[in-house]
Structure 1
């Protein structure tokens, strides 16, 4: 649990969530830009949930005060209630922030005082408070309302899903991915295909393309930095990949983006040797 205060104008560029994340706004207005909440103004006494792997951009429209809770698995005190929530979870046409009810607001009032008074926080105390927060969210709201709220993480309830989402951008090939999780390559490919419906290598390439295109279009990172981040051993290899995937070199793609052009993925190359089941 992290307590934050930022002045008006504070900006956090789009960044991928490495864990599930709930943002609770206590004071002020925070502009959120993500797939679920595009251009959404999050106001005082509201909260949103972003699933692992999603990209979130934040801009303080006023001075803001908020809590951020990051987690891999929810600390559940009432698992039966949460199972009911997941069974009814569905994707809404439009996501809307969840209001913070008075019971939850009082809890955050106590936590705010705690963070202001304690120079060194106690992890055990905060863990207990996190359990209480999730208990209120799951048990004190109408089930249909929280079913929509928790939908973004409803597909990541199994450990294999968590493992994939937390590590896919840290590996260069299928064999390395399987070894990291303690699986044989054959077993890993089978589990992955059963859960995601596509070969693992094809899925990794698609994720790599999405990340590269986002970094070229929306960040000022050096091209060499982006190339290294996504595992390319040379800039020429990276340029070749970009030409195949987007139709142009990295520098040209940046220039076209700066001129207002919308760049899309045009090619999905396949590596039959690595995809063979």
Structure 2
């Protein structure tokens, strides 16, 4: 590894980022450890340079990911990652797509998105992307952690994705977060867990209820109320599958005001009672 010159100048600069929110991070994890780097307010691309893990994301459980593969974890997703074999990982955290070209190009993938049966399958790291990630790791390990570096590499990453991956591959990778109106979709993904009513979401987006409902249906193909119920069901299923989860924990976390209310919800969404669902999930393990 090349030594970074004038390290003090980098560290003392106001653009230096000791704690990364948006940008790149390098992790080395031992076998049987758990990857915990996950802020639900952001999207995350997780690149496995080497190693192997079992990743769960929302309804997709224990998917294998190996060396030279990467996946997208979207905003607000439930996520867990157990390292099966010692791993070197680069995590790229971002909010929205930067640059007009990137945004328009990726927004155009909505056409391909609608033709894909999404199954949370990892994408292969192509040789140019592998070289790019190697350089990013070199920079991070040397201490070059300024905002300018992250901004430059962010733009380069999307240039590589657009240049060396087919549209169908990109549509599959970014499937949860691309659509006709990506800013609108991003705001919904970021905030739906934080509100109690559809009206609150409409206010965040800055639209009246009728216009919001129409826009939402155009983007997600269903009403806001029905979509939020389905997302809530996915989160509940994920949480109940975790070791040690209890029905009372779930009721408290997702603000069910009575056992009757929770039972009615589970019968509508899962076709069974909460206790039956809990038994099913633990049997699947």
TM-score (ref. length: structure 2)? 0.72
1:115 is matched with 140
Distance 1:202 1:50, change over 3 A: same
Once the two structures are overlaid, the 10-residue window that deviates more, 102-111 or 141-150, is 141-150
2:26 and 2:212 map into 1 onto residues whose CA distance is 39
* Partners of 2:31 and 2:84 within 8 A in 1: yes
Once the two structures are overlaid, the 10-residue window that deviates more, 162-171 or 89-98, is 89-98
Q: 1:23-102, aligned counterparts within 5 Å?
A: 23-34=46-57, 39-52=62-75, 54-76=77-99, 78-79=101-102, 82=106, 88=112, 90-91=115-116, 97-102=122-127
Q: 1:1-277, aligned counterparts within 5 Å?
A: 1-12=24-35, 18-34=41-57, 39-52=62-75, 54-76=77-99, 78-79=101-102, 82=106, 88=112, 90-91=115-116, 97-118=122-143, 121-143=145-167, 145-155=169-179, 157-234=181-258, 237-238=261-262, 241-242=265-266, 246=270, 250-251=274-275, 253-255=277-279, 257-258=281-282, 260=283
* Partners of 2:58 and 2:235 within 8 A in 1: no
* Partners of 1:81 and 1:139 within 8 A in 2: no
The CA deviation at 1:189 is 2.5
1:105 and 1:179 map into 2 onto residues whose CA distance is 42
The CA deviation at 1:240 is 5.4
Partner SS for 1:163: helix
1:88 and 1:216 map into 2 onto residues whose CA distance is 33
2:269 and 2:169 map into 1 onto residues whose CA distance is 40
Partner SS for 1:91: coil
Count of matched residue pairs: 259
What do the CA deviations read for 1:188-238 (whole angstroms, capped 9, x no partner)? 223223333433223222322332233223353444442232233455644
In structure 2, stretches of 5+ residues that fail to align are: 1-23
What do the CA deviations read for 1:158-179 (whole angstroms, capped 9, x no partner)? 2221111221121112222223
1:176 and 1:83 map into 2 onto residues whose CA distance is 26
TM-score (ref. length: structure 1)? 0.74
